[in-house]
């Protein structure tokens, strides 16, 4: 989401006459987009700020950390010239121009109207790629007890479907072939809008768009992922065989403390349904270890869920208390060294699963959407298979945007290496 918002702000600034440069030294303006979902990215933002050599440069901070600290940031760090909250990204050029005129440092973190806060997404991307993000909504209503998002991003606000479809039309006319819809909880798209599409009908509509070859969405909340969407994995030809479905804990007791709104069994039931409809579907998820009160038994439930589901990819994190959240005040916070031990145990287990599942791909022929030159020696391109696996293979850069068949020869921890099958470009 932050990547998409940074792209939008960059496009907006370009339209206002600014030029992108390739290094910090060359820049007159440094604008830092920040994330406060965990403690680590927040610390990263502050340490990046600390390393900026700023004489003569304008420094702005935007995003969730900006929203969280507001004017405090200006007091804390003299280098910062302006702070822009999550709902005012469309105002960056205006705030910048005021600062350049009167040199008054400013923090703008007010929540504005839905229409205004979503207006940044109308900005066309400056250089859309083969694969592009399209935000369909902002904010979240769920208030999971560990999560700062609803506080810093506000409540759910869906974009009008007309705008989303227009954006997709513009992207595909510039060569984009894969659309990744974005939202904190995409399944709730449209519920805040009268007489507009639901998420399922939006997916159906995008599926009929001629230029769209592939469609994905992120993130789904297990409690909001209903049967209608699950069935679409068996109906829509553009909908790729991958889903990100965070489970956060394998213990129903901890899920309740997290306020997640589903049990371990309900989560497993959704996975079973998805695999029944689309057996080859790749499943990725997020999980937190060391939530307050998590016992060894709860942690073992998480490990057993991982063993049962065998995720293709898993993003695992150690719990860190976030300001404003209920869980930060929960008793029985877990000591850091214990959280780390659990995280390492879990990651060792998952690494083996990921590697084994990648090895299972060797010998298969996969449909790969060619994206860009890969980090492999010259002459190699990278693309993604429908299950979202990264594939490197020898190919001409002119094939970017095409779907090709690639036979997998070797598998690594995070990617696959293959050879393009002759005569199978479409
Ligand atoms: S669903 Fe829960 S974890 Fe996800 S953004 Fe909303 S509050 Fe945060």
Write the DSSP string, 76-130: H-TT--EEE-TT-GGGHHHHHHHHHHH---EEE-----HHHHTGGGGSPPSS--S
Query: Which of 184, 189, 257, 261 to mutate to test ligand 1, by most ligand atoms within 8 A of the CB atom?
Result: 184
206 Cα distance to chain centroid: 20
Q: Which atom of ligand 1 is nearest to the CA of 260?
A: 2
List pLDDT tens digits, range 5-31. 999 999 999 999 999 999 988 999 999
Strand 403-411 and strand 365-373: the pairing is antiparallel
List pLDDT tens digits, range 291-344. 999 999 999 999 999 999 999 999 999 999 999 999 999 999 999 999 999 999
For ligand 1, atom 4, name the residue with the nearest CA. 184
Q: Which atom of ligand 1 is nearest to the CA of 221?
A: 1
Domain boundaries, the chain: 2-114, 115-359, 365-420
Q: Which atom of ligand 1 is nearest to the CA of 148?
A: 8
Instruction: Please name every residue paired with 384 in a beta bridge, in sequence order, or none if there are none.
Output: 369, 390
Q: Pocket residues for ligand 1 (CB within 6 Å)? A: 140, 142-144, 147, 149-150, 184-185, 221
The pLDDT of residue 126 is 81
For ligand 1, atom 1, name the residue with the nearest CA. 142
Cis status, amide bond into 250, omega within 30 of 0: no
- Token pair in block for residue 353: 């699963």
Kindly give the distance from the C-alpha atom of residue 97 to the centroid of ligand 1, in angstroms, as a whole number: 35
List the helix and strand counts (H, then E) for the chain. 14, 17
The pLDDT of residue 376 is 78
CB atoms within 10 A of CB 53: 10
Kindly give the distance from the C-alpha atom of residue 224 to the centroid of ligand 1, in angstroms, as a whole number: 12
Gyration radius of the chain over CA positions? 22
Strand 390-394 and strand 380-385: the pairing is antiparallel
Q: Which atom of ligand 1 is nearest to the CA of 143?
A: 7
Instruction: Please name every residue paired with 342 in a beta bridge, in sequence order, or none if there are none.
Output: none
Q: Which atom of ligand 1 is nearest to the CA of 184?
A: 5
Listed as ranges, residues in the chain with pLDDT below 50 are none
Query: Which of 35, 139, 144 to mutate to test ligand 1, by most ligand atoms within 8 A of the CB atom?
Result: 144
- End-to-end Cα, the chain, rounded Å: 30
SS3 letters across 152-163: HHCCCEECCHHH
240: left (phi over 0), alpha (psi -120 to 50) or beta: beta
The pLDDT of residue 52 is 86
- Token pair in block for residue 301: 């439930």
d(CA 21, CA 28): 9
365-420 and 115-359 share a CATH fold? no
CATH of domain 115-359: 3.80.30.20
**Alpha helices by DSSP H, 227-335:** 227-235, 252-258, 264-277, 296-309
d(CA 37, CA 34): 10
- Token pair in block for residue 183: 């939202």
Residue 365 to residues 235, 276, 369, 420, Cα–Cα distance (Å): 22, 22, 13, 9
> φ and ψ at 344, to 5 degrees?
-65, -40
| Residue 364 near residue 357 (C-beta atoms within 8 A) | no
- Token pair in block for residue 166: 């227009």
For ligand 1, atom 2, name the residue with the nearest CA. 144
For ligand 1, atom 8, name the residue with the nearest CA. 147
Kindly give the distance from the C-alpha atom of residue 229 to the centroid of ligand 1, in angstroms, as a whole number: 19
CATH of domain 2-114: 3.40.50
pTM of the prediction? 0.95
d(CA 329, CA 310): 33
265: left (phi over 0), alpha (psi -120 to 50) or beta: alpha
Q: Which atom of ligand 1 is nearest to the CA of 185?
A: 1
Q: Which atom of ligand 1 is nearest to the CA of 140?
A: 6
Quick check: helix, strand or coil at residue 136?
A: coil
Exposed/middle/buried for residue 97 (C-beta within 10 Å: 0-12, 13-18, 19+): exposed
CATH fold of 365-420: OB fold (Dihydrolipoamide Acetyltransferase, E2P) (2.40.50)
Kindly give the distance from the C-alpha atom of residue 278 to the centroid of ligand 1, in angstroms, as a whole number: 26
**DSSP label at 420?**
E
The pLDDT of residue 116 is 92
224: left (phi over 0), alpha (psi -120 to 50) or beta: alpha
Kindly give the distance from the C-alpha atom of residue 120 to the centroid of ligand 1, in angstroms, as a whole number: 22
**DSSP label at 376?**
S
Burial string for 384-401 (b: 16+ CB within 10 Å, else e) reads bbbbbbbbbbbbeeebbb
Kindly give the distance from the C-alpha atom of residue 12 to the centroid of ligand 1, in angstroms, as a whole number: 28
């Amino acid at each position: 989401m932050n990547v998409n918002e940074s792209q939008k702000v960059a496009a907006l600034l370009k339209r206002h006459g600014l030029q992108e440069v390739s290094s910090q030294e060359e820049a007159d303006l440094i604008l830092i987009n920040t994330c406060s979902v965990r403690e680590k990215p927040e610390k990263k933002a502050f340490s990046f700020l600390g390393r900026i050599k700023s004489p003569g440069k304008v420094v702005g901070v935007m995003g969730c950390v900006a929203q969280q600290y507001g004017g405090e940031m200006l007091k804390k760090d003299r280098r910062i010239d302006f702070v822009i909250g999550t709902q005012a990204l469309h105002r960056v050029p205006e705030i910048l121009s005021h600062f350049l005129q009167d040199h008054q440092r400013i923090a703008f973190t007010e929540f504005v109207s839905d229409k205004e806060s979503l207006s940044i997404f109308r900005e066309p991307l400056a250089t859309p790629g083969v694969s592009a993000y399209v935000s369909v909504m902002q904010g979240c209503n769920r208030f999971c007890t560990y999560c700062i998002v609803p506080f810093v991003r506000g409540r759910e606000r869906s974009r009008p479907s007309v705008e989303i479809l227009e954006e997709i039309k513009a992207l595909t006319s510039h060569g984009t072939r894969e659309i990744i819809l974005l939202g904190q909880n995409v399944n709730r798209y449209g519920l805040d809008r009268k007489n507009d599409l639901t998420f399922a009908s939006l997916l159906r509509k995008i599926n009929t768009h001629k230029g769209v070859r592939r469609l994905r969405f992120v993130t789904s909340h297990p409690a909001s992922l209903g049967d209608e969407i699950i069935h679409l994995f068996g109906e829509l030809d553009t909908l790729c065989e991958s889903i990100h479905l965070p489970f956060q804990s394998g213990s129903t007791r901890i899920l309740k403390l997290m306020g997640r709104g589903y049990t371990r069994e309900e989560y497993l039931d959704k996975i079973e349904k998805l695999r029944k409809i689309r057996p080859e579907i790749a499943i990725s998820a997020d999980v937190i270890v060391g939530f307050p009160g998590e016992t060894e038994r709860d942690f073992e439930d998480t490990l057993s869920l991982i063993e049962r589901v065998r995720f293709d990819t898993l993003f695992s994190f150690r719990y860190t208390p976030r300001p404003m959240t209920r869980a930060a005040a929960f008793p029985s916070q877990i000591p850091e060294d214990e959280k780390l031990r659990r995280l390492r145990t879990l990651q060792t287990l998952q690494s083996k699963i990921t590697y084994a599942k990648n090895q299972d791909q060797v010998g298969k022929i996969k449909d790969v959407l060619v994206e860009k030159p890969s980090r492999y020696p010259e002459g190699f391109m990278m693309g993604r298979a429908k299950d979202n696996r990264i594939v490197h293979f020898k190919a001409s850069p002119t094939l970017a945007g095409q779907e090709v068949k690639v036979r997998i020869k070797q598998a690594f921890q995070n990617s696959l290496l293959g050879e393009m099958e002759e005569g199978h470009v479409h």
